[in-house]
Every structure is written in C-alpha cells, then in structure tokens.
C-alpha cells in the first residue's frame, strides 16, 4: 500500500502536514506527536525581522471553530534559521517554511536568507487577513498574486507553494494567477475573515476587531474551493480548512488535493495529525486502495 505523494518533486511519506500558525515550529507539539510520522511540518510564518503581533485578546471560540488575529508574531528569520531548522532536522520529515512579509522586498529577503538552508519547500503567505499591510494585500488581486509569485520564484531555491485566501470573489482566478507566476503548488484555504461580539462587555471579542475563522465549521467552503481550483490548474494543491479527522482529509483528497494540512484540530486534539495519517491508512485498507494517488481528485 502506498501513502507517498510527490509535490513539486518533493516526496512526502504520507499526505499529512500541519497548517501554518497552529503548530509553532513543532517543538512544543513534539511532546505529543512523533514528527517522524508526518509528511511534512509547515512552520508558523516567519518574516525578515521579528514581528510583535497584535494586541490581545487574539482568539475567540466560535461554534465549531474559532477566530484568530495573532498578527503573525514571529522571531524573525535569523533566530528561526539558527534555532528551528536544526530542531526540525532531527526528524525524518519535510520542512515547509511559511514566509510572510509586508512588502515584496520583505518576502524576497526571507526567501534569499533560506536559499542555502536545509529546508524542503517554501509556503508564501499572501493571505493573512490579520495584518494590515502586506499579507492579504498581495492575495486579493490576480495581477498582484502573479507578480509576487514571479518575484519570489526568481530568488527561491526550493519549490514555492502559494497560500491562497478565501476572502476573494474567485479563488480560482487567484490560483490561475499564481500558476501563471510560476508557483509550484498551492495551499488553500487560509482563514475566512470573521467577527465576534462579546454581548456581556459590549465590545469586540478580538482586540483586532476581525479575525480569521478556522475549524470544522469552514470545511465545506474549503472542500468546494479545492474542488473548483483542482479543475482549473495543473499544479498540485495542499488542501486545508477544518480538517479534524481522516474522513475530512479524504474529502479534500477526493476533491483534488494531493496533500492536506491539519490546523485548528491540533488545539482540540494535540495528536490530530497522527490520527488523520493513521485514519487515511485504515480507510485504504478497508476499501482495498493500493495507492493514495488513485484517490486524488477521484470525485469529478
């Protein structure tokens, strides 16, 4: 039975990774998860310099999900390279570094800094809804998506995954633009912009007023977007959005995702990634599936 998938020439032992921002760089979760059993670890976003993030409260629970507005707090690429890459390299898994920035130059600075580092793939976050400058500004206009993709590709030594926002009229247009810009793969979806009001205190639940919604409640939206995009582009898709179980992951794979990311479920169940990977294997046994690749996009 084969669980291996290949994305942009990088082989994963199974199609399961972590959704950026929910797993740090993996050190904290390694007490609960054998990182060797993951196809890849996708790190929290890293910028060229340290970012302090947003004021608190930064999160709020919603029905079947949550809102977050962390604001991409990160220690900066220099600390990340010295501390987190060697930590992750102890494990037999792929390292996907999520890259964030406020300007094109910021993104390029990180990509250049990582060019000679031992990382396997880059995921470019052009879709964070919680940072005013940059982030989402690059992800809501097809011309901007194509331009930032092409710029990053000029400097990147590793395959480039563009992470797309669902907060657009047509995510398919953004996906095509990323492909036209030379993207090697797509990650989708980032969080949906939402809001919660605390009626006892009569204020916003988040200091940032709005936040990105994630968790099982968003899954049908994400599956639909992955399906539509898979029909329109040739590059592989890493699907995410509310995946808690192997059944959830299999929906994304059948809709056209080559791999999947587990995000908010890590908060609900710290070893959710492992449960998803094991559950996919169990499904394949039960249904006599020899190769996971035969399930990718099998529902037309």
Partner 1 sequence: MAQKVKNIAIVQKNERIGTDIYSIWLKDEQIAANAKPGQFVSVYTGEADKLLPRPISICEIDKENGLLRLVFRVVGAGTRLFAALAEGDTVEVMGPLGNGFCLEGFKKAILIGGGIGIPPMLELAKQLDCEKQIVLGYRDELFLNEEFEPYGRVYLSTEDGSAGTKGNVIDAIRANDLDCDMILACGPTPMLRGIKAYAEEKGIRAQISMEEKMACGIGACLACVCKSREKDHHTNVNNKRICKDGPVFYADEVEL
247 binds partner 1 (CB under 8 A): no
Dist. CA 83–CA 199, nearest whole Å: 43
So which residues are the catalytic ones? 128
| Cis before 57 (ω within 30) | yes
Contacts of 196 by beta carbon, 8 Å cutoff, 6+ apart: 60, 62, 67, 204, 205, 206, 211
- CA-based nearest residue to 187, from 126, 271, 243: 126
Task: Name the one range near partner 1 by CB under 8 A: 25-33, 85-93, 157-165, 229-237.
Answer: 25-33
182 binds partner 1 (CB under 8 A): no
Token digits for 161? Answer: 């995954």
Nearer to partner 1, 88 or 244 (CB): 244
Dist. CA 270–CA 10, nearest whole Å: 26
Dist. CA 122–CA 171, nearest whole Å: 20
75 binds partner 1 (CB under 8 A): yes
Q: Give min distance, CB of 187 to partner 1, in A.
A: 18
Task: Name the one range near partner 1 by CB under 8 A: 8-16, 19-27, 93-101, 118-126.
Answer: 19-27
Nearer to partner 1, 51 or 107 (CB): 51
286 binds partner 1 (CB under 8 A): no
Torsion angle of C-alpha atoms 214, 279, 230, 216, degrees rounded to 10: -20
> Which 44-63 positions form the footprint of partner 1 (CB under 8 A)?
44, 50-53, 56-61, 63
204 binds partner 1 (CB under 8 A): no
24 binds partner 1 (CB under 8 A): yes
> Binding partner 1 by CB under 8 A: which of 32, 118, 291, 298?
32
- CA-based nearest residue to 186, from 152, 143, 128, 230: 230
28 binds partner 1 (CB under 8 A): yes
Residue with tokens 């959710």: 272
Q: State the alpha helices, DSSP H only, in 54-139.
A: 77-79, 85-89, 104-114
Nearer to partner 1, 62 or 258 (CB): 62
> Binding partner 1 by CB under 8 A: which of 23, 138, 204, 252?
23
* Apex 152 CA angle, 181 and 210, nearest 5: 90
264 binds partner 1 (CB under 8 A): yes
Cα–Cα separations (whole angstroms), residue 91 to 34, 88, 214:
9, 6, 28
Nearer to partner 1, 58 or 163 (CB): 58
Q: Give min distance, CB of 158 to partner 1, in A.
A: 23
65 binds partner 1 (CB under 8 A): yes
Residues forming the site for partner 1 (CB under 8 A): 21-24, 28-29, 31-32, 44, 50-53, 56-61, 63-66, 68, 70, 73, 75-76, 79, 215-216, 244, 264-268, 270
């Amino acid at each position: 039975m084969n669980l291996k998938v290949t994305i942009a020439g990088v082989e994963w032992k199974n199609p399961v990774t972590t959704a950026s921002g929910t797993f740090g760089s993996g050190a904290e979760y390694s007490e609960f998860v054998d990182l060797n059993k993951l196809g890849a670890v996708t790190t929290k976003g890293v910028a060229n310099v340290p970012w302090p993030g947003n004021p608190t409260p930064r999160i709020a629970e919603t029905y079947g999900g949550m809102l977050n507005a962390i604001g991409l707090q990160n220690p900066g690429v220099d600390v990340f390279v010295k501390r987190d890459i060697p930590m992750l390299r102890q494990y037999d898994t792929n390292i996907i570094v999520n890259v964030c920035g406020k300007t094109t130059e910021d993104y390029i600075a990180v990509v250049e800094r990582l060019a000679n580092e031992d990382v396997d793939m880059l995921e470019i976050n052009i879709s964070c809804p919680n940072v005013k400058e940059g982030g989402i500004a690059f992800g809501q206009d097809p011309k901007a998506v194509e331009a930032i993709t092409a710029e990053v590709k000029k400097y990147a030594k590793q395959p480039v995954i563009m992470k797309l926002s669902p907060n657009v009229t047509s995510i398919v247009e953004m996906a095509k633009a990323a492909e036209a810009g030379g993207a090697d793969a797509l990650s989708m979806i980032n969080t949906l912009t939402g809001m919660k009001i605390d009626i006892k205190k009569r204020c916003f639940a988040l200091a940032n007023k709005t936040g990105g919604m994630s968790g099982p409640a968003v899954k049908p939206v994400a599956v639909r977007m992955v399906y539509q995009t898979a029909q329109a582009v040739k590059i592989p898709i890493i699907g995410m959005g509310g995946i808690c179980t192997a059944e959830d992951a299999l929906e994304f794979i059948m809709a056209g995702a080559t791999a999947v990311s587990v995000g908010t479920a890590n908060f609900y169940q710290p070893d959710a990634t492992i449960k998803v990977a094991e559950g996919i294997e169990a499904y394949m046994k039960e249904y006599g599936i020899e190769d996971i690749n035969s399930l990718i996009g099998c529902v037309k």
